């Protein structure tokens, strides 16, 4: 029986990992900070996947990002999806070569559908995660800055036909508030697509994770809340979800 | 022990190398015949499309080289994910492509009428009782899968199954040839244990 | 010998050492009890009180009708914004310039004013302010005591001069964060409360000390003196807290200040807490927070954690991790700023910190004070009388 997944999302910007609140970033620490306070080698056993997003503005400096990714994946034995500013198949290749098992596309889904098609064709649809940032019915690209003219439900249906492997649905309004996921939208979206759905935006504690992961058509819950889950936060959250009979990998 | 991770331009070789390093095994990533020659064991990774992969393999002469190493010299090889599928006879992907043909298994797409594809996430494998890959491990083991195509076989290739609306080949092992549809380098401790078993028992 | 218990609130991480705090039989502090009350109570009577109060004071001739002390931060900005745009008042906003103001604080204040407010920026004679701050630091362990006095006294002076009878503070910190609940159910309060609680009764002592300095005259202390009781009575100055009339939510304040008043956050975060959108106006705040830590065992992170727990954005267990990480934050990177400001040597500076460190809670190892306790692990110690 296919398990559900707990995913931790790291938001990277110019050498630092960040706490995001409604898409406003606060620097928290660099990779050394992360290693010290998150012990990712150990924490990774409490997770099922990691997503790393390059939120750097302007020149995204793919080289630095790739180099950080390389260091991050060392001794981490779960899948890593990486993305942010992928502008060409070559960019995707750099990430695959540096430790990404899947890549995450966001703005490109809207701006460069041909590139998306090429990446899917070459690497397979299972290698591509389509990330969507939204507020109500509005979809935003470019780190939440630019609103596009296609309403959320249609946009997501369209992604299904573009052959991306999974959807990463992120609520800008809930992001970083610690108040829980946007359950209403999640339920609606999950009922109109037939593809793996990862939900993100708003998780503050394990109860929120439970609420979302218990929904029938949600396959994975993601949180980027560095502060709330620091220390033993993630292992405790996993233990809690398992106690509540969530379908998760148990002993490792 | 020298392990060569066969590089044909597709596949996340880094994670595999990282896992091997964790297990204190030296590995190099190469497609050169001389390196394959010197290897004690081979790992064939793979991410992407079957057709493209076979093209890249043939372009580097790896189909011949691997046949020499694996079939003639009986060097242990572990195929991972697409790499495992390449060791089979064929895939119906892209209208039908021939694989390396080292084991009798055929690759086809999941039926999306009943399940969501791709098959992504951790799912349980039921190890065949005599299996070396899962030696010392339990009876229902979670591993990470990420694929849209699966292998089936009518022969006995030492397969262990995973159930995703019906059993499909999660792994096979026959003499020196092994393959896992799942990614052992992404499957936490279970994955590392399988890699260890391959390195020690093949 | 006397056995003293030290314990943490069962809901948030407030410590029993906090001045004037009280706990119920379940071990919940008064801030958490108030949080529960806030959620279930009917706010309409208090809303009506606010409307009646504002109707009574609303200006009909274009004069200012209320004063909102602001720093450019989220709370004052929120209150001023609500008074002006929701209730149609004509607020005069006032800032007393702190010593060692931070660039981001200045920017936020400027953005706030730019968003459309009348504002007075008071600079107390820095020579006097700095002297008072220093005495406050040494005599009471309050690094910006001069400023703390002035934000009350100078504001009241303005109220008297402009004949504005109503001063709106943001939240009653004692009620919202833990402390004296005397005014919990009171809308308006008086000067005596301000002197006793906010200035902790030290106002006269510190002023006496500075008056003893030959180079400071009474005239120099104009901004730091309370007006005579009779003059106050003539204008009829009342103080009130916004948090009495509307459920206080500092995160909501942040969001509104961000959207309406141009508030920006500190990108690089802080070394002593996990938030980046509060207390960004002056460098001395870090020292104030650190002294609080040394005196009582809790720092800025504990306070911020309490706010997050009470608004439901974090669990107590999660908060413990953060408090352990951030609370003991000797402001290393600012030490030179502080010693230069106070004109003290490093040794003299450290001696003041040493004086205020509660030896029942901390022990000094080398140059650093380390807690003898574990966060959220209740304990007791023998106090020698």
On chain A, the residues whose CB falls within 8 A of the CB of C308 are 178
User: What percent of chain C clears pLDDT 90, i.e. is strictly above it?
Assistant: 71
Q: Which of C211, C245, C279 is the last residue of a domain?
A: C245
A252 — pLDDT class (breaks 50, 70, 90): low
Q: Give Cα A195 distance to the centre of its chain.
A: 16
- Residues C75 and C111 reside in one and the same domain: yes
Please give the Cα distance from A41 to A39 (Å, whole number).
Answer: 5
The per-residue pLDDT of chain C, averaged, comes to: 91
- Residues C128 and C269 reside in one and the same domain: no
Place of tokens 């006095």: C149
> Does residue C205 register a pLDDT over 80?
no
User: What percent of chain B clears pLDDT 70, i.e. is strictly above it?
Assistant: 100
pLDDT in tens, A171-213: 999 999 999 999 999 999 999 999 999 999 999 999 999 999 9
On chain C, the residues whose CB falls within 8 A of the CB of A204 are 312-315
pLDDT in tens, C150-160: 999 999 999 99
**pLDDT at residue number A124:** 86
pLDDT in tens, A218-241: 999 999 998 888 888 899 999 999
> Does residue A250 register a pLDDT over 90?
no
User: How far off is chain A from C278, nearest CA to CA, in Å?
Assistant: 13
- Active-site annotation of A, residues: 133
- Residues C305 and C373 reside in one and the same domain: yes
SS3 A251: coil
Contact flag A179-C312 (C-beta cutoff 8 Å): yes
On chain C, the residues whose CB falls within 8 A of the CB of A231 are 320-321, 324-325
The per-residue pLDDT of chain A, averaged, comes to: 92
Q: Does A24 touch chain C (CB under 8 A)?
A: yes
User: In sequence order, what are the beta bridge partners of B28?
Assistant: B4
C385 — pLDDT class (breaks 50, 70, 90): low
Segment C137-165 shows an average pLDDT of: 92
Let me know if A37 is exposed, middle or buried by CB neighbors in 10 A (0-12, 13-18, 19+): middle
Contact flag B116-A196 (C-beta cutoff 8 Å): yes
> Does residue B95 register a pLDDT over 80?
no
Of B170-179, C190-199, C369-378, the poorest mean pLDDT is in C190-199
Contact flag A204-C274 (C-beta cutoff 8 Å): no
**pLDDT at residue number C14:** 97
The dihedral formed by the CA atoms of C108, C110, C113 and C115, expressed in degrees to the nearest 10: -70
b/e sequence A203-229, b meaning 16+ C-beta within 10 Å: bbbbebbbbbbebebbbbbbbbbbbbb
Please give the Cα distance from A56 to A62 (Å, whole number).
Answer: 10
- Residues C52 and C88 reside in one and the same domain: yes
Helix (H) or strand (E) holding C355: helix C346-356
Q: Does A232 touch chain C (CB under 8 A)?
A: yes
Q: Which of C214, C245, C276 is the last residue of a domain?
A: C245
> Does residue C342 register a pLDDT over 60?
yes
Say how many C-beta atoms besides its own lie within 10 A of residue A63's C-beta: 10
- Residues C72 and C148 reside in one and the same domain: yes
- Residues C311 and C214 reside in one and the same domain: no
- Residues C200 and C347 reside in one and the same domain: no
> In the annotation, is B81 catalytic?
yes
Segment C144-152 shows an average pLDDT of: 92
**pLDDT at residue number B28:** 94
**pLDDT at residue number B161:** 96
- Residues C162 and C215 reside in one and the same domain: yes
> Does residue C349 register a pLDDT over 90?
yes
- Residues C8 and C156 reside in one and the same domain: no
User: How far off is chain A from B38, nearest CA to CA, in Å?
Assistant: 24
Segment C77-81 shows an average pLDDT of: 97
Query: In this structure, what are the phi and psi dihedrals at residue C227, rounded to the nearest 5 degrees?
Result: -65, 160
Segment A107-126 shows an average pLDDT of: 92
> Does residue C193 register a pLDDT over 80?
no
Segment C128-152 shows an average pLDDT of: 92
Q: What is the extent of the structural domain holding C58?
A: 42-245
Q: Is residue C250 part of a domain?
A: no
CATH number at residue C216: 3.40.50
**pLDDT at residue number C95:** 97
Q: Give Cα B97 distance to the centre of its chain.
A: 18
Segment B51-63 shows an average pLDDT of: 91
> Does residue C9 register a pLDDT over 90?
yes
Q: Give Cα C378 distance to the centre of its chain.
A: 27
- Scanning B29-88 for CB atoms below 8 A from A yields 47-49, 52, 82
Segment C178-185 shows an average pLDDT of: 87
Q: Does A227 touch chain C (CB under 8 A)?
A: yes
On chain B, the residues whose CB falls within 8 A of the CB of A90 are none
> In the annotation, is B183 catalytic?
yes
- Residues C343 and C361 reside in one and the same domain: yes
Contact flag A24-C268 (C-beta cutoff 8 Å): no
Please give the Cα distance from A163 to A145 (Å, whole number).
Answer: 25
Segment A139-146 shows an average pLDDT of: 94
Segment C47-59 shows an average pLDDT of: 94
Decide the pairing of beta strands B119-126 and B141-147. Answer: antiparallel
Q: Which of C181, C211, C245 is the last residue of a domain?
A: C245
Contact flag C313-A236 (C-beta cutoff 8 Å): no
Contact flag A205-C318 (C-beta cutoff 8 Å): yes
Domain ranges of chain A: 5-243
The per-residue pLDDT of chain B, averaged, comes to: 93
Contact flag C315-A205 (C-beta cutoff 8 Å): yes
- Residues C24 and C111 reside in one and the same domain: no
Segment C64-72 shows an average pLDDT of: 95
B191 or C187, which is more confident?
B191
Nearest residue to A132 (alpha-carbon basis) of A147, A160, A102, A152: A152
On chain A, the residues whose CB falls within 8 A of the CB of C274 are 19, 28, 227
Task: Please tell me which of A88-97, B166-175, C168-177 the model is most confident about, judged by mean pLDDT.
Answer: B166-175
Q: What is the 3-state secondary structure (H, E, C) of A172-200?
A: CCCCCCCCCCCHHHHHHHHHHCCCCEEEE
**pLDDT at residue number C206:** 78
> Does residue A102 register a pLDDT over 80?
yes
B113 — pLDDT class (breaks 50, 70, 90): confident
pLDDT in tens, B6-45: 998 887 788 899 899 999 999 999 999 999 999 999 999 9
pLDDT in tens, C257-311: 999 999 998 877 788 888 888 888 899 999 999 999 999 999 999 999 999 999 9
> Does residue B162 register a pLDDT over 70?
yes
User: What percent of chain B clears pLDDT 90, i.e. is strictly above it?
Assistant: 81
Q: Does B166 touch chain A (CB under 8 A)?
A: no
Please give the Cα distance from C128 to C141 (Å, whole number).
Answer: 18
Nearest residue to B163 (alpha-carbon basis) of B154, B178, B150, B179: B150
Please give the Cα distance from A173 to A138 (Å, whole number).
Answer: 11
On chain C, the residues whose CB falls within 8 A of the CB of A177 are 251, 313
Say how many C-beta atoms besides its own lie within 10 A of residue C4's C-beta: 13
Query: In this structure, what are the phi and psi dihedrals at residue C267, rounded to the nearest 5 degrees?
Result: -50, -45
Q: How is chain A split among helix, strand and coil, in percent rounded to 5?
A: 35, 25, 40
Q: Which domains are assigned to chain B? A: 2-201 (3.40.50.880)
User: What percent of chain A clears pLDDT 70, i.e. is strictly above it?
Assistant: 99
**pLDDT at residue number C376:** 96
Contact flag B190-A100 (C-beta cutoff 8 Å): no
Listed in sequence order, the DSSP H helices in C88-144 are 103-114, 126-140
Nearest residue to A147 (alpha-carbon basis) of A166, A133, A126, A128: A133
Asked whether the whole model's pTM tops 0.90, one would answer no
Number of domains making up chain C: 2
Spatial CB neighbours of C307, under 8 Å, sequence gap ≥ 6: C177, C250, C251
Nearest residue to A25 (alpha-carbon basis) of C277, C34, B88: C277
Mutate: best of A209, A228, A229, A230, partner C, most C CBs <10 A: A228
Segment C93-117 shows an average pLDDT of: 95
Please give the Cα distance from A116 to A108 (Å, whole number).
Answer: 7
Segment C172-185 shows an average pLDDT of: 88
- Residues C194 and C49 reside in one and the same domain: yes
The CATH class of A5-243 is alpha beta
């Amino acid at each position: 029986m296919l398990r559900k997944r707990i995913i931790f999302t790291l938001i990277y910007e110019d050498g630092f990992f960040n706490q995001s609140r409604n898409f406003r970033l606060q620097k928290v620490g660099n990779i050394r900070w992360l290693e010290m306070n998150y012990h990712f080698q150990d924490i990774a056993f409490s997770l099922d996947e990691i997503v790393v997003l390059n939120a750097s503005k302007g020149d995204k400096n793919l080289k630095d990002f790739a180099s950080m990714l390389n260091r991050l994946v060392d001794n981490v034995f779960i899948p890593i999806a990486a993305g942010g500013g992928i502008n060409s198949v070559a960019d995707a290749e750099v990430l695959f070569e540096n430790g990404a098992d899947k890549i995450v596309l966001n703005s490109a889904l809207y701006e460069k559908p041909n590139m998306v098609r090429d990446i899917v064709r070459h690497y397979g649809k299972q290698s591509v995660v389509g990330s969507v940032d939204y507020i109500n019915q509005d979809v935003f690209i470019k780190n939440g800055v630019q609103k596009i003219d296609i309403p959320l439900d249609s946009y997501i249906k369209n992604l299904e036909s573009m052959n991306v492997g999974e959807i990463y649905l992120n609520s800008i309004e809930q992001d970083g508030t610690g108040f829980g996921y946007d359950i209403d939208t999640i339920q609606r979206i999950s009922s109109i697509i037939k593809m793996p759905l990862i939900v993100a935006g708003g998780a503050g504690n394990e109860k929120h994770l439970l609420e979302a992961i218990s929904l029938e058509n949600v396959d994975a819950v993601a949180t980027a809340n560095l502060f709330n889950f620091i220390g033993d936060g993630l292992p405790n959250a996993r233990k809690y979800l398992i106690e509540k009979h969530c379908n998760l990998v148990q002993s490792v | 022990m020298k392990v060569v991770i066969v590089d044909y331009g597709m596949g996340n070789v880094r994670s595999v190398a990282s896992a091997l390093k964790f297990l204190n095994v030296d590995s190099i990533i190469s497609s050169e015949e001389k390196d394959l020659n010197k290897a004690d064991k081979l790992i064939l990774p793979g991410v992407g499309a079957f057709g493209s992969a076979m093209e890249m393999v043939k372009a580097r002469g790896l189909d011949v080289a691997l046949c020499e190493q694996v079939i003639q010299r009986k060097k242990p090889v572990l195929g991972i994910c697409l790499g495992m599928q390449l060791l089979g006879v064929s895939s119906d992907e892209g209208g039908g492509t021939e694989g390396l043909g080292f084991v009798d298994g055929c690759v086809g797409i999941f039926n999306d009428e009943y399940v969501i594809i791709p098959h992504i996430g951790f799912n349980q494998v039921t190890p065949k009782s005599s299996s070396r890959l899962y030696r010392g491990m339990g009876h229902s083991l979670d591993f990470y899968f990420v694929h849209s195509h699966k292998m089936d076989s009518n022969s006995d290739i030492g397969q262990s199954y995973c159930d995703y609306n019906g059993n499909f080949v999660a792994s096979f092992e026959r003499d020196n040839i092994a393959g896992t549809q799942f990614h052992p380098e992404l499957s936490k401790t279970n994955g590392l244990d399988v890699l260890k078993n391959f390195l020690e028992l093949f | 010998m006397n056995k003293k218990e030290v314990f943490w609130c069962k809901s948030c991480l407030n410590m029993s050492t906090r001045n004037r705090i009280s706990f119920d039989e379940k071990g919940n502090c008064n801030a958490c009890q108030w949080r529960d009350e806030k959620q279930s109570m009917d706010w309409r009577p208090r809303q009506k009180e606010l409307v009646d109060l504002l109707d009574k004071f609303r200006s009909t001739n274009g004069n200012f009708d209320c004063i909102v002390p602001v720093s450019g931060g989220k709370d004052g900005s929120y209150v001023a914004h609500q008074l002006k745009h929701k209730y149609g008042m004509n607020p005069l906003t006032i800032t007393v310039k702190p010593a060692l103001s931070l660039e981001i604080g200045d920017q936020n204040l400027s953005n706030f004013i730019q968003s459309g407010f009348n504002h007075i920026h008071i600079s107390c004679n820095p020579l006097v302010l700095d002297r008072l701050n220093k005495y406050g630091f040494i005599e009471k362990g309050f690094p910006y005591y001069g400023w703390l006095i002035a934000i009350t006294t100078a504001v009241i002076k303005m109220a008297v001069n402009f004949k504005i009878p109503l001063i709106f503070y943001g939240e009653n910190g004692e009620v919202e964060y833990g402390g004296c609940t005397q005014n919990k159910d009171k809308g308006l309060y008086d000067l005596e409360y301000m002197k006793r609680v906010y200035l902790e009764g030290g106002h006269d002592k510190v002023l006496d000390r500075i008056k003893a300095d030959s180079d400071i005259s009474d005239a120099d202390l104009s901004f730091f003196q309370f007006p005579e009781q009779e003059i106050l009575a003539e204008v009829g100055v009342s103080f009130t807290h916004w948090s009495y009339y509307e459920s206080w939510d500092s995160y909501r304040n942040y969001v509104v200040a961000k959207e309406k008043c141009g508030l920006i956050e500190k990108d690089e975060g802080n070394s002593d807490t996990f938030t980046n959108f509060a207390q960004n106006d002056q460098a001395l705040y870090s020292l104030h927070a650190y002294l609080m830590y040394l005196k009582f065992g809790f720092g800025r992170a504990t306070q911020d954690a309490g706010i997050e727990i009470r608004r439901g954005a974090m669990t107590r267990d999660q908060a413990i991790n953060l408090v352990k990480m951030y609370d003991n934050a000797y402001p290393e990177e600012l030490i030179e700023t502080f010693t230069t400001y106070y004109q003290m040597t490093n040794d003299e500076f450290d001696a003041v910190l040493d004086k205020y460190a509660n030896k029942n809670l901390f022990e000094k190892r080398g140059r650093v004070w380390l807690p003898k306790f574990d966060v959220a692990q209740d304990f007791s110690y023998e106090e020698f009388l």
